[in-house]
């Protein structure tokens, strides 16, 4: 009897040990984030996202609305099958300019997806121009020689450092590859600020002098004077910001004359274009040079306001920067590439179809007034994760409120979604959130209230952002 009891005890002990070993060696797998960088389109099940580490709820009616009115984006990078993006075709029919935004400048997921969308729109929807929020003349000069550069060097010669990332190398590689096809993707830009190593007097004059030398000797001399003066003012502006009073005075004494000379050159080139027979390539260069002279005046006016000399000085460069960018885009669309459809790459705050923050005068406002239904604007947002700031500093996405765009998107538990906005408020309650002040995040950090359908035609919400790989 005693031996039987011992045997039973040993059996029970072995069962317990086996159970404990089983729990130790084979833990229940944790739910992981969907990997949208695989070379395939993910299924619905593969797109399901894990729980947040805090409770986040959305109005039931609004949840029903987004559940019945969204599109799942099944990959951020896969470019052999764009079927999950086919919903864009009817939305973009008749659109001349499509704006792709971002509520931060440092999300790898935003970069990946925008590049994939650009490939789709270029290959299947006929968008042949990509225009960056970067230096207008620098990027045009880069486009002229891009086939002779590595993708990394092409990137450095055009766009701001915030986009000098591992992800963007793929876009510049793609641009180069398309140059060997019948439908090349054209690189351009529209900002009234300087962004690259090409923004120097030497580079500008190397581009401009051969053009204006065809006009007359006085235009050539004026161009040399205007460009050299502009870059001296740029140096003076930077030094003035460091409280160098001599340089501040130099700026005040010379900025107005430089603006006047640049405007005279702009007018001279406009007149020359009208009376001269030019090849297609020459016409593009002359138009970009003319637009460039006008854009440089915006930069100087912007410096004047930001230096505090102007009573209306304001940190967001209003109205000089955003008005100037809108003016540049329209001029590029109407004069430089009049037969082409254009994709814009810029921050949400710039592409907004209406004032983004109260008096913030957005570029998109002016574009909407001019292009009306030919403009389509897509904002980008994220629910969790991290991104980079302008100086590559890490930014963690903060908690959201229940009455927010991010809470609504989270209710779908899908890794990446596209939410189109209605043109009119329907009788049901489902879409009311689009037409009332509603919360969302700026840079993933600051909550602000806005009427989303006034600012965007649609939004894309990524469940998790990771920091872009800055070069």
pLDDT recorded at residue 316: 45
Domain check: are 85 and 187 in the same one? yes
Domain check: are 347 and 455 in the same one? yes
Using the predicted structure, report yes or no on whether residue 369 has a pLDDT greater than 90. Answer: yes
Residues with Cβ within 8 Å of 248's Cβ and at least 6 positions away in sequence, in order, are: 236, 239, 240, 307
Position 354 in a domain:
yes
Domain check: are 182 and 253 in the same one? no
Position 245 in a domain:
yes
Tokens standing for residue 132: 């960056």
Angle at 361 between CA 365 and CA 354, to 5 degrees: 40
Per-residue pLDDT, averaged over 70-77, amounts to 98
Domain check: are 235 and 209 in the same one? yes
Q: What is the pLDDT of residues 130-175, one digit of tens each?
A: 999 999 999 999 999 999 999 999 999 999 999 999 999 999 999 9
Domain check: are 375 and 306 in the same one? no
Position 166 in a domain:
yes
Q: Within its chain, how far is the Cα of 118 from the centroid?
A: 12
What's the predicted TM-score (pTM) here? 0.91
DSSP category for residue 451: -
Q: What is the pLDDT of residues 214-250, one digit of tens each?
A: 999 999 999 999 999 999 999 999 998 888 999 999 9
176 closest CA partner among 147, 152, 153: 147
Domain count, the chain: 2
Give the separation between CA 255 and CA 258, rounded to whole angstroms. Answer: 5
Q: What is the CA radius of gyration of the chain?
A: 27
Instruction: Judge whether 78 and 35 are in contact, CB under 8 Å.
Output: no
Tokens standing for residue 407: 């809470």
Task: Point out the domain boundary residue: 280, 315, 350.
Answer: 315
Domain check: are 306 and 415 in the same one? no
Using the predicted structure, report yes or no on whether residue 449 has a pLDDT greater than 80. Answer: yes
Give the separation between CA 328 and CA 346, rounded to whole angstroms. Answer: 14
pLDDT recorded at residue 471: 87
Task: Point out the domain boundary residue: 247, 280, 315.
Answer: 315
Using the predicted structure, report yes or no on whether residue 314 has a pLDDT greater than 80. Answer: no
Position 66 in a domain:
yes
Position 30 in a domain:
no
Domain check: are 345 and 455 in the same one? yes
Please state, rounded to an integer, the average pLDDT across all residues of the chain: 91
Using the predicted structure, report yes or no on whether residue 3 has a pLDDT greater than 70. Answer: no
Domain check: are 298 and 414 in the same one? no
DSSP category for residue 276: S
Q: What is the domain range of residue 403?
A: 45-193+341-465
- Sign of the dihedral defined by the CA atoms of residues 307, 312, 317, 321, in that order: negative
Tokens 């994220």 found at:
382
Using the predicted structure, report yes or no on whether residue 331 has a pLDDT greater than 80. Answer: yes
Residues with Cβ within 8 Å of 142's Cβ and at least 6 positions away in sequence, in order, are: 149, 154, 157, 158, 187, 196, 198
Domain check: are 308 and 416 in the same one? no
Domain check: are 377 and 239 in the same one? no
Position 22 in a domain:
no
Pairwise pLDDT comparison (408 vs 7), residue with the higher score:
408
**Percent helix, strand, coil in the chain (nearest 5)?**
50, 15, 35
Instruction: Judge whether 353 and 376 are in contact, CB under 8 Å.
Output: no
Position 120 in a domain:
yes
pLDDT recorded at residue 24: 34
* Three-state secondary structure call for residue 398: coil
* Three-state secondary structure call for residue 1: coil
Per-residue pLDDT, averaged over 114-121, amounts to 98
Q: What is the pLDDT of residues 179-195, one digit of tens each?
A: 999 999 999 999 999 99
Domain check: are 217 and 177 in the same one? no
Most confident of 61-70, 312-321, 352-361, 427-436: 61-70
- Sign of the dihedral defined by the CA atoms of residues 380, 369, 371, 359, in that order: negative
CATH number at residue 106: 3.40.1660.10
Position 322 in a domain:
no
Give the separation between CA 341 and CA 334, rounded to whole angstroms. Answer: 11
Domain check: are 460 and 412 in the same one? yes
Give the separation between CA 415 and CA 429, rounded to whole angstroms. Answer: 26
- For residues 242-265, b (16+ Cβ closer than 10 Å) or e, as one string? eeeeebbebbeebbeebbebbeeb
């Amino acid at each position: 009897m005693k031996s039987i009891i011992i045997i039973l005890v040993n059996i029970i002990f072995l069962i317990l040990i086996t159970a404990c070993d089983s729990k130790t060696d084979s833990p229940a797998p944790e739910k992981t984030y969907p990997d949208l960088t695989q070379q395939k389109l993910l299924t619905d099940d593969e797109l399901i996202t894990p729980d947040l580490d805090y409770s986040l709820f959305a109005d039931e009616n609004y949840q029903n609305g987004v559940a019945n009115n969204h599109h799942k984006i099944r990959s951020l990078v896969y470019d052999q099958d764009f079927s999950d993006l086919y919903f864009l075709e009817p939305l973009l029919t008749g659109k001349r300019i499509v704006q792709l935004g971002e509520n931060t400048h440092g999300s790898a997921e935003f970069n990946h997806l925008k590049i994939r969308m650009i490939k789709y729109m270029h290959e299947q929807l006929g968008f042949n121009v990509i225009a960056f929020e970067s230096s207008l003349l620098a990027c045009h000069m880069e486009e002229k020689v891009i086939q002779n550069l590595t993708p990394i060097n092409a990137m450095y010669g055009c766009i701001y450092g915030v986009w000098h990332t591992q992800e963007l190398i793929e876009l510049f590689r793609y641009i180069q590859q398309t140059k060997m096809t019948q439908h090349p993707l054209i690189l351009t830009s529209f900002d009234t600020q300087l962004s690259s190593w090409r923004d120097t007097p030497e580079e500008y004059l190397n581009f401009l002098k051969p053009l204006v030398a065809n006009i007359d000797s006085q235009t050539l001399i004026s161009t040399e004077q205007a460009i050299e003066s502009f870059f001296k003012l740029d140096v003076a502006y930077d030094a003035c910001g460091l409280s160098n009073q001599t340089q501040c005075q130099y700026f005040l004494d010379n900025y107005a004359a430089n603006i006047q000379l640049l405007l005279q050159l702009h007018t001279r080139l406009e007149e020359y274009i009208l009376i001269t027979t030019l090849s297609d390539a020459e016409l593009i260069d002359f138009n970009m040079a003319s637009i460039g002279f006008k854009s440089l005046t915006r930069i100087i006016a912007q410096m004047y306001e930001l230096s505090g000399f102007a009573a209306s000085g304001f940190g967001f460069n209003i109205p000089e920067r955003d008005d100037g960018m809108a003016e540049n885009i329209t001029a590029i669309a109407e004069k430089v590439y009049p037969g082409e459809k254009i994709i814009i790459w810029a921050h949400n705050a710039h592409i907004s179809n209406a004032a983004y923050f109260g008096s913030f005068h957005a570029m998109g406002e002016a574009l909407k007034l001019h292009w009306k239904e030919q403009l389509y604007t897509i904002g980008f947002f994220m629910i969790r994760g991290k991104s980079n700031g302008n100086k590559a500093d890490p930014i963690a996405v903060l908690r959201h409120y229940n009455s927010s765009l991010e809470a609504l998107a989270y209710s779908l538990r899908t890794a990446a979604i596209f939410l189109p906005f209605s043109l009119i408020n329907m009788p049901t309650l489902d879409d009311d959130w689009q037409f009332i002040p509603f919360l969302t995040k700026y840079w993933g950090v600051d909550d602000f209230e806005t009427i989303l359908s006034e600012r965007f035609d649609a939004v894309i919400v990524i469940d998790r952002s990771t920091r872009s790989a800055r070069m």
